Amino acid sequence: MRVALVNPRWDYTGSIYFGCRAPHLPLEFGYARALLQDQKHDVLLIDAHASDLSHSDTADAVAAFGAEMTVIATAPTYLFWRCAPPELRVPIQLITELDHRGGRTIVVGPHGSVTPAATLRKLQADIVVLGECEDALVELASDPARQVAGTASLNDGHIVLNGRSRATDMTTLPALVWEDEIIHRHDHHHHRFDREPTGPGAEVEASRGCPYHCSFCAKMDYRDAYRRRNIDVILKEIDGLVAQGVQYLYFIDEIFLPNRPLLDALIQRPIEFGVQTRIDLWSSELLELLGRAGCVSIEAGVESLTEAGRHSLDKKCRLSTEELADRLIAARRQVPFVQANLIAMADDEADLVMKWRERLQRHGVWANDPVPLYPYPSSPEYRRLFGAPDDFAWERAHAHYLAQFPHFSDIQEIQPSPLQDLEEACLHG
């Protein structure tokens, strides 16, 4: 079968997402391509965001390829399971432009995993994949008539669910190989702010999922179990990237847990990297090893500056607020850039936050102005507020978020737009 895997050109205008908007390697599609090709399928991977392709040009490329199945992401793949933009305007625009020229339309990402019926209706897609997509895409391509587990479709307007969300066996995923032109186009270093890039960067995945169950995290329904890839495969992938001139890696893992064998191996390689982690999991010894291995950026989730606040978020943090500050300062002695993420909590008084941030900044650690908590559908926080997600879960979460505060964090440049405004022109244009 001829299969097109499409990462669209993303538009963040008016979005709640205010992080890095540069292109990132579409890792899920990289794995899917390798697995599909191993089964002798013809695969076209289009990274329209990295290539700066319009929706029209992307659709024309899919049509010219003669795709019998076109797979489209509903969010940038590095954001699938963390903080996906809630709006579906980009995939709506692309599918409209495609106009049935790419065979069956399959969509993957958090939207269809949480609200499959609404996602299918908005996108007019044929199938959504529930959860992680790699294995499901191989099965859909290999036997189009099969009712593949972990998928959903509409029948006369009614949702048909085929089993529960899927989780990929990480031990089966190969070392990714990217074309030189894709790597050379990747000219940013994700979450490194202490200096400008001097060469290509890349994203790598060492694990998926997280063993913790914080109330604000949306992973529960579709990316729950923590799984590691085989270290030999990771290192083979990294060695290939280094050979292509990559100077910096960002481990895209939801949580980068201490992994001594991996860190020991990275010491032997000429590469720098960044991670997202919990600072309370790292001893002084392991932080020193992390720095020696080449880590130059740490993004650490602190969330609240009171033990009561962290408890309400189900952080299960084993350190006090003072100990967290000490651990972040210790990390900064080993790593050039360290960031502490904060969520706006009712008990975190403004004076407390200001003094804590000032202390960290004196030691070179950056802490953000606390951001509002977005109750992502399927997160425990969403369920506490609204119950189980329904077809309007994203709209409900978005409206709640926008109504929380008269102003947003200083790291948000522009007031986000209502979800209906972001999608309306696409849905009714």
Condensed to tens digits (0 to 9), the pLDDT of residues 98-144 reads 999 999 999 999 999 999 999 999 999 999 999 999 999 999 999 98
Q: How many residues does the chain have?
A: 429
pLDDT in tens, 12-53: 988 888 778 889 999 999 999 999 999 999 999 999 999 999
Bridge pairing between strands 201-204 and 158-162: unpaired
For residue 136, CA distances in Å to 66, 69, 253 come to 21, 13, 21
Beta bridge partners, 6, equal 46, 72
| Rg over CA atoms, the chain | 21
pLDDT in tens, 191-220: 998 889 999 999 999 999 889 989 988 877
- CATH architecture of structural domain 2-168: 3-Layer(aba) Sandwich (3.40)
CB 367 within 8 A of CB 360: yes
Contacts with 403 (C-beta within 8 Å, 6 or more apart), sequence order? none
Q: Which of 224, 201, 154 is nearest to 379 (CA)?
A: 224
What is the C-alpha to C-alpha distance for residues 57 and 146, in angstroms, rounded to an integer?
A: 32
pLDDT in tens, 310-326: 999 999 998 999 999 99
For 170-389, CATH gives 3.20.20.70
What is the domain partition of the chain in residue ranges? 2-168, 170-389
